[in-house]
Structure 1
């Protein structure tokens, strides 16, 4: 019965199977003023010793009434605080939903007829719309194919560049290791020559050529490759 009654109010969107839109708003709750809790408001009456059985029973009833009133006020305050928080939460969710709807509305539609009105399928205006629509779809398909091809080329170039970088670093590592080994031998010969008071048998070794890193392939431009996620992990230069 309650659901049927609410289904005829501004909250009817909550009882339908249709998706909730950002324009749908939960009815506002108007908090009521709750008077402060007044403990022992009837203290003088309750502190007065009863003279009859009837006065005693009235005092008991008054105490119970005070307790019920205080409990009711506490529950009312809690319910109103929860309602205020729920309204704030709903407003925040509506804002997020509105942003999602705006984002979804910016997506390109692919339906030629979407206004629900009748159209003459052989009319010149509709035929022109069909041609324009088909040309746009073909152009979009070509652009998509070109982007996919360029992405594949970019991936291949990046993979080749990474392989070359690994090989270059290995060659530089071998060059440095060879130089360090020759340097240790030369230092030993130099020290021995000093003791024997003669010249070293060979000159001090020199570092071989260290290959410089190859330029990384250019990054994909967002305006051309709108759906490409680039692998931009930095490569350590050796």
Structure 2
């Protein structure tokens, strides 16, 4: 016989879920019952009932969709773009009991079956416990996936909100964007036109100034690179000269040691060869005249030679 009450075949979770989740859970359960009814023949002589492609959606599907449209997840049924305020339904996981290594029915499995019926029941109990543990592992994996999906949704929602804020901060370029008619000779409109022209001129001047600053900075960078390259070349020549003098001194030192005397000159020092340090890289905020820097660098290089 069929159960008299729907609640007699429906379980409830320890934690109350949100209304969209409850609706979808009920629809899935109803669909499973609907499939069983479709697979059950009404008469042994009649074939199984197979729904045709043109069969309308069952009532429980339409009822669930109608109910979902009145919940916080109604935005899922519309074709309008998602907003950052459209939060998905939250899933509240409940605590799972730990999976024990030892069977909870170990005291029953300790008895030897006295009949074939008892052996079948004991095997069925083992299979039932194995299925229970398997479902528990699957539930833990589903809850973990739901938590990770929630983290992803939170980040996506934050990025969507940031994009909406950036779009909202963009100001229009129309002088009067309210769509209402205006007198071209009115004082307010004339004032807006003057302010708009001044703003455009200021923006154009700032743009030209930034371009000039970039060109000046590029020129300073080129001069800096050339000057440092010249310093590197001079330093390489002076280091080579230092190495040659050190080799000569080593020869003199060996000869003096063989003749039991002191070397005729002291060991050369690298600091005496005028090794120059590289110039610091110019910064973008530096507005010095490039021609003055060129003249200073050239005069400095000439004095060092």
TM-score range, shorter chain: 0.5 to 0.7
Indicate the residue corresponding to 1:88 in structure 2.
Answer: 151
Three-state SS of the structure 1 residue aligned to 2:283 is coil
Gaps of 5+ in 2: 1-56, 288-305
The CA distance in 1 between the partners of 2:187 and 2:226, in whole Å, is 58
Gaps of 5+ in 1: 225-238
Q: Per-residue displacement from partner, 1:159-196 (whole Å, max 9, x unpaired)?
A: 0221122123323433454566578779989979xx8x
- Residues 23 and 141 of structure 1: CA distance in aligned 2, closer, same or farther (over 3 Å): farther
Three-state SS of the structure 2 residue aligned to 1:119 is coil
Indicate the residue corresponding to 1:137 in structure 2.
Answer: 200
Alignment of 1:148-163 (within 5 A): 148-163=211-226
Indicate the residue corresponding to 1:111 in structure 2.
Answer: 173
Question: Would you say how many aligned residue pairs link Structure 1 and Structure 2?
Answer: 215
Per-residue deviation, 1:147: 0.3
TM-score (norm 2): 0.49
Indicate the residue corresponding to 1:147 in structure 2.
Answer: 210
Three-state SS of the structure 1 residue aligned to 2:181 is coil
The CA distance in 2 between the partners of 1:107 and 1:24, in whole Å, is 21
TM-score (norm 1): 0.59
Q: Per-residue displacement from partner, 1:21-73 (whole Å, max 9, x unpaired)?
A: 443322111223545658444964995746686x7766665555444444333
The CA distance in 1 between the partners of 2:188 and 2:211, in whole Å, is 35
**Maintained 8 Å contact 2:238/2:275:** no
RMSD across aligned C-alpha pairs, in angstroms? 5.1
**Maintained 8 Å contact 2:96/2:140:** yes
The CA distance in 2 between the partners of 1:185 and 1:44, in whole Å, is 99
Match of 2:284 among 217, 220, 223: 220
Q: Which moved more, 1:126-135 or 1:183-192?
A: 183-192
Q: Per-residue displacement from partner, 1:114-146 (whole Å, max 9, x unpaired)?
A: 96x422243543443343234223312221221
Per chain length, whose mean CA-contact separation is higher, i.e. which structure has more relative contact order (CA < 8 Å, sep 6+)? 1
Q: Which moved more, 1:136-145 or 1:149-158?
A: 136-145
- Residues 48 and 188 of structure 1: CA distance in aligned 2, closer, same or farther (over 3 Å): closer
The CA distance in 2 between the partners of 1:176 and 1:70, in whole Å, is 78
